Each structure stands twice: as C-alpha cells, then as structure tokens.
Amino acid sequence: MTNKPVPPEQDDDTIVELSLYALKDMLLVGGIDQQMLEPHEVQEQNLKIRLAHTGERVGSASLLVQKMYRNIGYDVPDMQKLQDRITLIASQNNAVVGTLTLGLDADNGLLADQNYKPEIDRLREKGHKVCELTKFAVDQVRGSKRVLAALFHIAYIYGRVLQNQTNVVIEVTPKHASFYKRLLGFEQIGSERLNSRVNTIGVLLWLDIDYVERQIELLGGKTEGAKGERSLYPYFFSKQDEVGITHRLQRCE
C-alpha cells in the first residue's frame, strides 16, 4: 500500500491520483478513533483529488458534508463557492468520498471569527497570516488514512507554498480535539463555546505551519516506518512529490 501519486493525464484537472487499497471504514474525521486507522486490505483502488471549482463539484462536496455531519447530529448549511476559499474533493469512480475546505483571511474574514475573534486577532496582531480548515468529511465506507493525509497535504501546499500563510486554525468539538492534537500537532487556544453554524459546542485549535513543514521534511512519504508513529505525517507526500503536486495545483487554480 502506498500514497505515491500517479501522474494524471495531461488534459486532466486532477491534482493527484493515488493508487491504494480499500481500507477499514472511517467516519467524519472529528469522530475517528485510533483503531479505525488500522488498515484492512480489500482491493486496490484509484482515488483522484481535485479542486471543486464548479458549482456541481461544490454541491457534491456539500452533500457529503451534510450526510456525514447529520449522521452525528449536526446541522450544516449548504456550501457556497467563495473567492477566498478553496474546496478539495477526493473521488473514486466519480463519487465524492472526501472533502476539505481551506479559507483565507481576506475580505470576508474567517468563519472562526464568529466565535473566536479575540484569539484570532491576537495572532493577526503578531503579524501572522491566518487561514482555517472547515467542512472536513471522509466517507465512512471508502475513506483511508491516506485520503486524510493527501487532503491535508494539498491544503498545506495551497496555504503555505502558494499563499504564504503562517498559521492555521480549526473549530472542532472537545471530543474530537484529541485527534487533531495527537496526529497533526494542533494546540487548543480557545475555550468551549457554542458553534451556531453546526449547533454544537466547539473549541478553537491552532497550528504553526512551520511545524507542518518540518514534519513533512522529517516524515513525509515514509510510511514504511509509520508503525507505532502517533502522527499522520508519514502518510503525507514526500518533499520531492510535493514539487510536482504544487505545479499541478497551480495549473488547476
């Protein structure tokens, strides 16, 4: 099993294509338990990750998010295509099985400002460029650890490499915060508050993107040594692979 990217066809808008095996079922990332990250080989599958730059793709991503969030009792409004956000979608056989949105701190601000503006303003006052992750969902039937890592890594490339972002924040439930802390290195910087967008209690997590860069350099693409590693970073791409992915992401914007 590998997350080595397969070069897409020249006229394809695929950012990266993965050749991988179907793994054990997974839920929305916020609800992942460690035992659900253990692989179980079924059959080889190809998975493509693209930008949701059309209304149809945004709609497909929105349907997946609503399905996964409603399964755990959250209400989520329809996703909108906005200039200061990009949405990534992972698909198998034209079915969307994963999605992640990265929002930039532009004219519309960040969604997290609604509940955590003082905390985010403190980052801004220090000169940081803050982006945020939202609308993260992975289909519980077809997802895998490699899908998560690929979505996060491409979001990192867009935010860090192409947009020079320095910090990233994410709102999650207290129950799910340990996943992001343990496997990605996030830290909590905001207390529990009602997130009216999904009608549940949330906390604000923060991550210095310099840390992500160091972890990719140290662990990216080294899945052979990932057993026992309490981190998602070995399932990220290598720095060598990152160069080609960056070029394709620029082409697909």
45-49, 130-134, 223-227 — which one is most confidently predicted on average? 130-134
| Mean pLDDT score, 209-238 | 89
Please report the pLDDT score of residue 177 as a whole number: 96
Please report the pLDDT score of residue 129 as a whole number: 98
SS3 track for the chain:
CCCCEECCCCCCCCCEEEEEECCCCCCCHHHCCHHHHCCCCCCEEEEEEEECCCHHHHHHHHHHHHHHHHHCCCCCCCCCCCCCEEEEEEEECCEEEEEEEEEECECCECCCHHHHHHHHHHHHHCCCCEEEEEEEEECCCCCCHHHHHHHHHHHHHHHHHHCCCCEEEEEECCCCHHHHHHHHCCEEEEEEEEECCCCEEEEEEEEEHHHHHHHHHHHCCCHHHCCCCCCCHHHCCCHHHHHHHHHHHHHHC
| Mean pLDDT score, 119-148 | 88
- Annotated domain spans of the chain: 5-252
121: CB partners within 8 A, 6+ apart? none
Please report the pLDDT score of residue 107 as a whole number: 84
**pLDDT above 80 for 5:** no
- Cβ 230 vs Cβ 183: under 8 Å: yes
Average pLDDT, the chain: 84
| Mean pLDDT score, 9-27 | 62
**pLDDT above 80 for 8:** no
| Mean pLDDT score, 33-59 | 69
Alpha-carbon distances, residue 128 vs 24, 31, 164 (angstroms): 38, 30, 10
Amino acid at 239: K
Please report the pLDDT score of residue 7 as a whole number: 52
Tens of pLDDT, residues 93-128: 888 989 999 999 998 899 999 999 999 999 999 999
Looking at per-residue pLDDT, the higher value among 150 and 41 belongs to 150
Alpha-carbon distances, residue 226 vs 136, 160, 192 (angstroms): 24, 25, 33
Look at the block and give the residue holding tokens 């929305």.
28
Calculate ∠ Cα 32-35-36, nearest 5°: 45
Alpha-carbon distances, residue 112 vs 53, 133, 168, 204, 220 (angstroms): 23, 10, 11, 8, 29
Among 4-8, 49-53, 64-68, 198-202, the least confident range: 4-8
**pLDDT above 50 for 143:** no
Query: Under CATH, to which class is 5-252 assigned?
Result: alpha beta
9-23, 35-49, 69-83, 175-189 — which one is most confidently predicted on average? 175-189
Please report the pLDDT score of residue 187 as a whole number: 98
Supply 194's token pair.
């009602």
Instruction: Say how many CA atoms lie within 13 Å of 234 toward its Cβ.
Output: 12
- Cβ 227 vs Cβ 205: under 8 Å: no
pTM of the model: 0.84
